[in-house]
Amino acid sequence: MRGRMKLAIDGRAVELPEGATVLDGVNRLGIPLPQLCKDPDGAPLGACRTCLVHVEGQKGLPAACHLPARDGMVVSTEHPDAVRVRRGVLDLTLSMLTPSPERAGFAQVGDAAARHGLLEPSQAPLHRFDVDATKSFFVLDREACILCGRCTVACGEVQQIGAISLVGRGHATRVGVFGDGAMAASVCTSCGQCVATCPTGALRPKETPAKIVRRVETTSARTAASAAASRSACSRGSRAGGGAPFFKPTNAWP
């Protein structure tokens, strides 16, 4: 069929439409490849480098989220080189985080690290940030943040609010608001998009919300999207991309 491409990923055939990425094929096959900075509904950011794969006849290990699918491609997520380098990237990523009971294993990061045999990182984080709990329904816990940028894109490009961005330099880089103040003093509207997309639980609800007693009809697409995001965030803490389940704390290193 015109406009369709046939690939092999981990020895399994998959057919994709024109314009699809290798990551689309990986996800279609349900292969649990890490994809920490890729919002399932958004464009690839290419920031986390945890989706590296091996492609037959191609040098290096490209990021699957940015790799256009081509007819006849032979891709492996399990190639020893891809697994080794991904494991190194996940080790460095995990090294940015400080474990605690509230951080509950860091969701998708902990899940991906455990699948690569990493129960604790080889380095300790070089920063200490306070938790910003000034908003009423969620917290911004920078000790659980991997700087993937998903929240800033959700806030700036999806919701067009621009309350948060990555600020500072080097080890002091963090998610912050204008003037480096508190979240509550920013233009944040508590729409919940950032909480819904965060892959680690750094942005997470404070508590389980009360039951809905009366539904309100919404007509605006944006209002509907925000409501969906808030429901998702409040019910699960964070959305697990690529079909991964919410991570259970099996790697709470001391």
* Helices assigned H by DSSP within the chain: 22-28, 80-94, 107-115, 150-153, 193-197, 221-236
Binding residues for ligand SF4 restricted to 185-214, rule: CB under 6 A:
197-200, 202-203
Q: What is the CB neighbour count within 10 angstroms for residue 249?
A: 13
Contacts 24+ apart (CB under 8 A), 54-57: 54/79, 54/81, 54/82, 55/22
- Among residues 35 and 193, whose Cβ is nearest to ligand FES? 35
Q: Are strands 203-205 and 138-140 parallel, antiparallel or unpaired?
A: antiparallel
Kindly tell me the burial class for residue 196, based on how many C-beta atoms sit within 10 Å of its own C-beta (0-12, 13-18, 19 or more). buried
Contacted by 107, from ligand FES, ligand SF4, none: CB < 5 to 8 Å by type: none
3-state secondary structure of 142: helix
Residues 224, 155, 194, 197: is their CA dihedral positive or negative?
A: positive
Q: Name the residue whose CB lies closest to ligand FES.
A: 65
Residue 75: which residues within 8 A CB-CB, separation 6 or more?
7, 8, 9, 10, 22, 25, 26, 53, 54, 55, 56, 64
- Among residues 145 and 191, whose Cβ is nearest to ligand SF4? 145
- Among residues 85 and 131, whose Cβ is nearest to ligand SF4? 131
Residue 149 in the binding site for ligand SF4 (CB under 6 A): yes
Q: How far is residue 162's CA from residue 186's CA, in Å, rounded to a whole number? A: 10
- Among residues 139 and 147, whose Cβ is nearest to ligand FES? 147
Residue 36 in the binding site for ligand FES (CB under 6 A): yes
Contacted by 46, from ligand SF4, ligand FES, none: CB < 5 to 8 Å by type: ligand FES
Query: Which span sits near ligand FES by CB under 6 A: 41-49, 77-85, 94-102, 117-125?
Result: 41-49
Query: Which span sits near ligand FES by CB under 6 A: 4-12, 29-37, 74-82, 128-136?
Result: 29-37
- Among residues 67 and 225, whose Cβ is nearest to ligand FES? 67
Residue 150 in the binding site for ligand SF4 (CB under 6 A): yes
Q: Give the residue, chosen from 50, 152, 226, 230, that forms a contact with ligand FES under the rule CB under 6 A.
A: 50
CB of 148 to ligand SF4, least distance (A): 4
- Among residues 99 and 199, whose Cβ is nearest to ligand SF4? 199
**Cα of 63 vs its chain's centroid, Å:** 15
Determine the angle formed by the axes of helices 80-94 and 107-115, rounding to 10 degrees.
140
Residues that bind ligand SF4 (CB under 6 A): 145-151, 175, 197-200, 202-203
Residues that bind ligand FES (CB under 6 A): 35-38, 44, 46-51, 63, 65
